[in-house]
A = this chain, B = another copy of it.
Amino acid sequence: MSYKFEPGHRRDRIHEIIFEADTLEGKIFDVVLLVMIMVSIIAVAWESLPTLDPGTKKRLYNLEWLLTIFFTVEYFLRIISVKRPMKYITSFYGVVDLLSILPTYLSIILPGSNTFLVIRALRLLRLFRIFKMANFLIQGDILLKSLKSSMAKIIVFVYFILVMVCIFGAIMYVVEGHVNPEFDSIPRSIYWAIVTITTVGFGDITPSTALGQFLSAILMITGYAVIAVPTGIMSAEIFKKQRRLMRSNRISTQACRSCSLEGHDEDAVYCKFCGDKLHTDDNDR
């Protein structure tokens, strides 16, 4: 639906190239954009290396500015070409697109803020859309929905974990605090409790007394057994989601010939709404 020889023609054309991936130009644009985002992230990471020689640093700095100017032009073209600019600007991708160019300009006043250019990584989420990886989009959608519907359970769970690490942190501060400088404050002890209950176990803070080690053991086994809870939640949720998808296939698709209502079980003999006998497709099979 491209309007030709009309005032809005150029705007539509830009929209087609930038926002869609159906035409050749659109696809080329998207791939070029993708490569530039990746290059830009690698450049930011590279620039942070402490062993970098000044020459490379200079070249990476220039590259960064070049890419930022490109992304800035792209950002304004997006605003111009879209029908409702405010909607795009306030959308998730609109905010990400803006945040992806701001750090470079900010780094003139605030040196070092260009590190936040890594936020460009979020722009890669468009990846799935560009290459029409519909299946990935559906799967991501199932995951998001499962996460959303189990969010209440997970918040309750995280809340319980937080109360627990507070109490364990305080106990460990009392038990270890006076003999072990690693447990020199309650916040640090709580940090340790989180490191322990999540089974991360850095080892930068470790109990040294027998009682401290005994309490740690309790905390570890709790964390080890309790990890089962969010996992169980997600398993049940994903399984339920998939089954609902499956079941919607299993309920017979036939409609009653009398009342035209659908939703009968596959083993139903009579319409559950009007009481008429169901003339199932099975007869024709």
Contacts and interface: CB of A to CB of B under 8 A. Distances in A.
Interface of A: 41, 44-45, 48-50, 112, 115-116, 118-119, 121-122, 124-125, 127-128, 135-136, 139-140, 142-143, 146-147, 152-159, 161-163, 166-167, 169-170, 173-174, 177, 184-188, 190-191, 194-204, 206, 210, 213-214, 216-217, 220-221, 223-225, 227-240, 242-243, 246, 255, 259-277, 280, 282-283, 285
B237 A223 contact: no
- Residue of A190, A220, A260 with most partner-chain B CB within 10 A: A220
A242 B235 CA distance: 12
A225 B216 contact: no
A155 to B, nearest CB: 7
B121 A186 contact: no
B282 A173 contact: no
B273 A275 contact: no
Contact of A48 (B118, B125, B127, B186): B186
B163 A153 contact: no
A252 to B, nearest CB: 11
Number of copies: 4
A247 B239 CA distance: 15
B277 A267 contact: no
A41 to B, nearest CB: 7
A232 B116 CA distance: 33
Contacts of A204: 203, 206
Contact of A235 (B136, B236, B264): B236
Given A201-B203, A272-B272, A118 B229 contact: no
B267 A273 contact: yes
Given A139-B152, A153-B139, A188-B213, A234 B234 contact: no
Given A152-B139, A264-B272, A283-B260, A115 B158 contact: no
A272 B261 contact: no
Contacts of A173: 48, 115
B273 A271 contact: no
A21 to B, nearest CB: 18
B235 A239 contact: yes
A125 B161 CA distance: 12
A259 B174 CA distance: 67
B274 A272 contact: no
A267 B146 CA distance: 27
A231 B233 CA distance: 10
A50 B233 contact: no
